[in-house]
Structure 1
Amino acid sequence: MRARHRFGSTGAGVLALVLAASLVAGCEADEGAVPPRDEPPRTAVDRTLTFAAFGPAPEVDAYRSLVSVYNSLYDDAEMEVVSYSSRQEFMGTMRESGEVPDVFLASGRDLKWLEDRQVLQPVDQLLLERGVDFGDLYSRDSVLAFSSESRLQCMPVGISPMVMFYNTELVDFDAMVRRGLSAPAEEGLSWNFAQFSAAAEFASRPGRNTKGLYVDPSLEGLAPWIYSADGQLFDSSTEPTRLTFSDDSTLAALETVLPVLRDPRLTLTPAQLERRSAVEWFERGKLAMMPGYRSLVPRLRDVPGLQFDVIQMPSVERNATVGELTGMCVSAETRNTAAAADFLVHMASAVSVRRVASEGYLVPANLEVAYSSDFIQPGRAPDHGQVFTNAIRTIVLPPLLDDEPELELTVADELEELLLAPVLTDLEALATEIDEESRTILDPEGLAEEQSESPTGTESP
C-alpha cells in the first residue's frame, strides 16, 4: 500500500512527472526563461516572513541558527522563527487560528489536511527556477509522500523509518549463536521473525526482571508487523472507508505475530506500564527491544551506561516498516513568494541539512547528507546508524487521512485488548469490532446510511 498519489506508480515515474510538469510550464511561459511573478509591490510587512518549526529544542535551535545565516545573507526579507515543541502543538495552533506561516515544517501525515484547505503553494517550479535538481539527491519515497497532482507540494526534509532499538547487553547475538540459537548473520542487517522471537526469549530473564520486547498497542505500532506478514491495514490506498483487521490476509498476519508480541513472559505487563513507559524501562536496562524512530537517539545517548544499537524491523514474509516524514512548505497566501522560495533553497542546501542532522534527530531526505558522517556519526551510538537509511526503501506509506488522531482514539481500547489483555478469547470477533469502529471515522455517511436502511425491529400487528 502506497501513499496517495495520482500519477505514476514508481518513484522514477513520479519524479519525472513532477519535473516535466514544471519544466513545461516554464517553457510555455518564455522558452525556458524564468516567468515573471505576479506579486504586489513590496512593503515593510512583506519583508517580514515567518518560519514555523517544531521538534526538540536542540533541533529547533539548529533551525534558528540557519535562519540567522539566511537573514545575514539576504536583503529581500527578514525571517522570524516561531517554534513549537511538537507537530501536534503546531497543527493544533494552525487549525484553531487559521493562520498559516509563510514557510513551515509539516508532517507527511498532515498533507491531506493542508491540501484540502488549499493552504499550500507547490514548490517544484520555485525550486527548479533556482537550480535545485532533485535527480538522485532525494529519497524517492520522500518525493512521493509530498507530491500530488504531478506537483511537489513541499520540499522533503526528513524520512525516518521505524526500526528496532535493542539493548546490546540483553540481546547478545554472538552469545545466542554459541547457544545454538538463530541470530542475524551480521549485526545491523535484516533479520527474520524467528530470529526476533529467539532474541525476545533470550533477553527475557525472570531472575533479572527483564523483558524481551514491547510493541505499542496502536495502528502505528502494529502496522509494520501487519504489512511485513502480507496483511493490509486499510481497504483502500487512496480513499479508505474502514480498517481491515478482519480480512483474511490481516487475520493471518495477526495469528502469526500476536503469539509473540502479546506473550506476557516476553513483554511488559499493563501493571509495569502503569509505573513507567516502555522507553523508561528501556533506559533502565529492563527492556531489551522496542520499535522507534531516529528522534529517540539523542535521548538514549544521554542515559549513562546504556548500550544500545538498532536493526531493521523483523521480516515476517517481507521487509516492511512505517515512517515519519517531514517537509518544508510554502504558504499559498505568502505575499513574498520569491523570498520564501529563496529561504527554502537555503534550508535545502547540503550545508544546512548537515547542520540539522548533526543534532541526531533527523534522517535526512537529502541522500548526500544521509550517507555522510554528519548523519552516521561514527563512534556514537547506535553503531549501525546506516540502518535508518537502509530501511527507507522498506517504508509502506499508508493513505493520507484528515482525521488520523481521531481514528487512533476510536480503536484505542480494542487495540489495547488485542496486545495487552491477559486472554484473547476471539480474535476474529475483536478484529471485526475494530473494523466496524473505524467506519465511524473513515466512512460515517456510509455507516449512517446502512444503519438507516437496516430494520431495528418490527411493529406489532
Structure 2
Amino acid sequence: MVVVTACSNTTAEGDGSSQAVTFMMTGGPEEQAAYEKLVSNFNAEHAGIEVTVSNIPSGGEFRQKLATMFSASNPPDVFLYNFRRLGVYAEEKAVHPLDSLLESSDKLNREDFYPIVLTAFTYQGALQCLPQNLSSPVIYYNKALFDAAGLAYPQADWTLDDFVATARALTQDTNGDGTPDQYGFGTEIETIRLAPFVWGNGGQLLDNPENPTRLTLDMPETREALEWFVNLQTVEHVSPDRISEEASSSQNRFVAGTMGMYMNSRVVVPTLRTITSFEWDAAPLPVGKNPASVLHSDGFCMSAQAAKDPAHLEAVWTFIEYALSATGQTLLAETGRTVPSMISVAESDAYLNSTPPANNRVWLDATANMQAFPIHPTWNTLEEMLAQELQRAFYGEVTIDEMIDAANQSAEEIINGN
C-alpha cells in the first residue's frame, strides 16, 4: 500500500508558498504506476502545487478508509470514485459541485465529454465529480479456444441464443470426471453484470431510479432475464458453480486459458495483457430484445473541505483540470486501463491503437445503448444486497422466486431506513 499524506494545505517554499494537494485512489500496480506518472508530470509542470497520491489496492479497504476520513473531517482533497457509490457523500454535501468551475474553465468544456458520464455524476441538478473514464462490460474471448472448437468469433449482432450455444460448445469435461475442465463463460456475479440483460429484455430493477420505493424483480421482463442469467449455471452448467469459482475465479481461469468467454469491464485489460499463451479480444454483449449496456465510470471528486479556502480550491481544481485534459487522459489511455471520457481522446490513436484488445471500439459503440445506475443514498446498499441474493440463486442455493422474495423484503427495509 502506498499512502502519502500532507499535514497542511500550504507549505513554505522559499519566499512563496506551495499548495499541498492530496489525491486518493484504489487500483492495482498498473493503475498506481499510471497515476503516479500523471501526478509526477503535473508537479513538474506546476510550480507552487505539490500533489501526493495515496493508493489503497483493495477497493473495500479504500471505501472504508475514505468513510473514516470523512467522518474525522480529514478527507483527501481529491479522490477517484465510482458514481454508483457516491450517493451518501452527495446527499451529505461532502463533495464540492464542479459546475461553475467547469463552466469557467478555459481548458475543459462539457461538450468534450460523453453526455452519459456527465449525467451519471449529476445529483439533484449538480455535477458532483468529473468523469475520468467511460467503460462497460464486454465479452472477452479466447481466440485459441474458439478456433479449436471451430467457432466463429462473436459479432456485433450475436443473440442470447448464439451466446448460450457458444458457451455450451466451449464447455468441456476432458477427463470425464463429471466436472468441466474448461468452462464456456464466467463473470463476477454482481448486480451490474445482470443489469444489461434485464434492460435488454425490456425490464427494470427499480420502480423509480431517482426515488425508488421498491425493486421490480417480479416484473415479467425482469424475471425472465433473471432466470436466463441464473440458468447459465444451474441449467446449462457453462459457468463454474460456487465451489469451483471459489477454488479458481473466472478471471484466473480465463487468464490460464481454461475459460472461453469472460465478462468484465475495461478494468481487467492490464491483467489480460500479461497473457502470452493465446490471443484474445473483446466483443459486445449478446443482444436480447434490444441492445443494452451499463455504465462503469470513476470520477475525480473534490471534497467540500478542500474547497473552503479559495487558494486551495484553485490548486485542487488545477490538478483535476490537468488530469481530465487531453494530456492527462491520453497518458492513462495508453496504459490500457481506461476508456477515455473525453470524446476526442477516445477517438484518438492513443486509445484505439492501444492493443490488445484489437477491438477497442466495442466500448465506444456501447454508448448508444448505455444506461447508468442512479446516484442515490441507498443505492450502494441495495446493489450489494441484490448481488448477494443473485449469487444464491446463480449457485442454485435458492429458487428464483425465493431470491425475489428475499430481495424485495431486504430492499423495503433498506429504502425505508430500517
User: Shorter-chain-normalised TM-score: which range?
Assistant: 0.7 to 0.9
Contact 1:215 1:261 in 2 (8 A): no
Q: Does 1:206 align with 2:173?
A: yes
- Structure 1 residues 366 and 160: alpha-carbon distance in aligned structure 2, compared to 1, 3 A threshold: same
1:98-117 residue pairs with structure 2 within 5 A?
98=70, 99-117=74-92
Measure, in 1, the Cα distance between the counterparts of 2:135 and 2:197. Answer: 17
Render the CA deviation track for 1:332-364: whole Å, top value 9, x for unaligned.
222211112222222222111111111111111
Measure, in 2, the Cα distance between the counterparts of 1:121 and 1:170. Answer: 49
Render the CA deviation track for 1:187-208: whole Å, top value 9, x for unaligned.
4x24211211121122122237
- Match for residue 335 of structure 2? 359
Larger CA deviation: 160-169 vs 199-208: 199-208
Render the CA deviation track for 1:14-72: whole Å, top value 9, x for unaligned.
xxxxxxxxxxxxxxxxxxxxxxxxxxx97748722212232222222222222223223
Q: Does 1:77 align with 2:52?
A: no
Larger CA deviation: 382-391 vs 42-51: 42-51
- Match for residue 147 of structure 1? 122
Compute the displacement of 1:261 (Å): 5.0
- Match for residue 415 of structure 1? 390
**Residue aligned with 2:133, SS:** strand
- Match for residue 415 of structure 2? 442
**Residue aligned with 1:244, SS:** coil
**Residue aligned with 2:174, SS:** helix
Measure, in 1, the Cα distance between the counterparts of 2:292 and 2:253. Answer: 26
- Match for residue 401 of structure 2? 428
1:258-269 residue pairs with structure 2 within 5 A?
258-260=230-232, 262-269=234-241
Measure, in 2, the Cα distance between the counterparts of 1:394 and 1:221. Answer: 15
1:238-387 residue pairs with structure 2 within 5 A?
238-260=210-232, 262-334=234-306, 335=309, 336-377=312-353, 380-387=355-362
- Match for residue 15 of structure 1? none
- Match for residue 200 of structure 2? 228
Compute the displacement of 1:269 (Å): 2.5
Contact 1:137 1:368 in 2 (8 A): yes
Compute the displacement of 1:325 (Å): 0.7
Bigger radius of gyration: 1
Contact 2:382 2:411 in 1 (8 A): yes
Contact 1:142 1:365 in 2 (8 A): yes
1:193 to 160, 173, 179: 160
- Structure 1 residues 172 and 233: alpha-carbon distance in aligned structure 2, compared to 1, 3 A threshold: farther
Measure, in 1, the Cα distance between the counterparts of 2:350 and 2:291. Answer: 27
Measure, in 2, the Cα distance between the counterparts of 1:141 and 1:52. Answer: 24
Measure, in 1, the Cα distance between the counterparts of 2:116 and 2:299. Answer: 12
Measure, in 1, the Cα distance between the counterparts of 2:385 and 2:28. Answer: 28
Larger CA deviation: 330-339 vs 126-135: 126-135
- Structure 1 residues 218 and 68: alpha-carbon distance in aligned structure 2, compared to 1, 3 A threshold: closer
Measure, in 2, the Cα distance between the counterparts of 1:442 and 1:78. Answer: 42
Measure, in 2, the Cα distance between the counterparts of 1:119 and 1:162. Answer: 30
State the number of aligned residues: 394
Measure, in 2, the Cα distance between the counterparts of 1:408 and 1:155. Answer: 23
1:101-180 residue pairs with structure 2 within 5 A?
101-172=76-147, 175-176=150-151
Compute the displacement of 1:173 (Å): 11
- Structure 1 residues 190 and 298: alpha-carbon distance in aligned structure 2, compared to 1, 3 A threshold: farther
Measure, in 2, the Cα distance between the counterparts of 1:414 and 1:254. Answer: 12
Render the CA deviation track for 1:217-248: whole Å, top value 9, x for unaligned.
33222222212111111121112233221222
- Structure 1 residues 275 and 395: alpha-carbon distance in aligned structure 2, compared to 1, 3 A threshold: same
**Residue aligned with 2:218, SS:** coil
Measure, in 1, the Cα distance between the counterparts of 2:283 and 2:90. Answer: 35
Measure, in 1, the Cα distance between the counterparts of 2:329 and 2:224. Answer: 42
Compute the displacement of 1:310 (Å): 0.9
Contact 2:102 2:109 in 1 (8 A): no
Compute the displacement of 1:316 (Å): 0.8
Measure, in 1, the Cα distance between the counterparts of 2:37 and 2:187. Answer: 37
Render the CA deviation track for 1:164-204: whole Å, top value 9, x for unaligned.
11111223499346xxxxx75xx4x2421121112112212
- Structure 1 residues 274 and 101: alpha-carbon distance in aligned structure 2, compared to 1, 3 A threshold: closer
Q: What TM-score, normalized by structure 2, do the two folds share?
A: 0.86
- Structure 1 residues 344 and 292: alpha-carbon distance in aligned structure 2, compared to 1, 3 A threshold: same
Contact 1:240 1:399 in 2 (8 A): no
**Residue aligned with 2:320, SS:** helix
Render the CA deviation track for 1:430-449: whole Å, top value 9, x for unaligned.
3222212222222345xxxx
Q: Unpaired runs of 5+ in structure 1?
A: 1-40, 178-182, 446-461
- Structure 1 residues 290 and 43: alpha-carbon distance in aligned structure 2, compared to 1, 3 A threshold: closer
Compute the displacement of 1:138 (Å): 0.8
Measure, in 1, the Cα distance between the counterparts of 2:112 and 2:282. Answer: 25
- Match for residue 390 of structure 1? 365
- Structure 1 residues 411 and 155: alpha-carbon distance in aligned structure 2, compared to 1, 3 A threshold: closer
Measure, in 1, the Cα distance between the counterparts of 2:329 and 2:387. Answer: 36
- Structure 1 residues 276 and 260: alpha-carbon distance in aligned structure 2, compared to 1, 3 A threshold: closer
- Structure 1 residues 268 and 242: alpha-carbon distance in aligned structure 2, compared to 1, 3 A threshold: same
Q: What TM-score, normalized by structure 1, do the two folds share?
A: 0.78
- Structure 1 residues 348 and 399: alpha-carbon distance in aligned structure 2, compared to 1, 3 A threshold: closer
Measure, in 2, the Cα distance between the counterparts of 1:225 and 1:315. Answer: 8
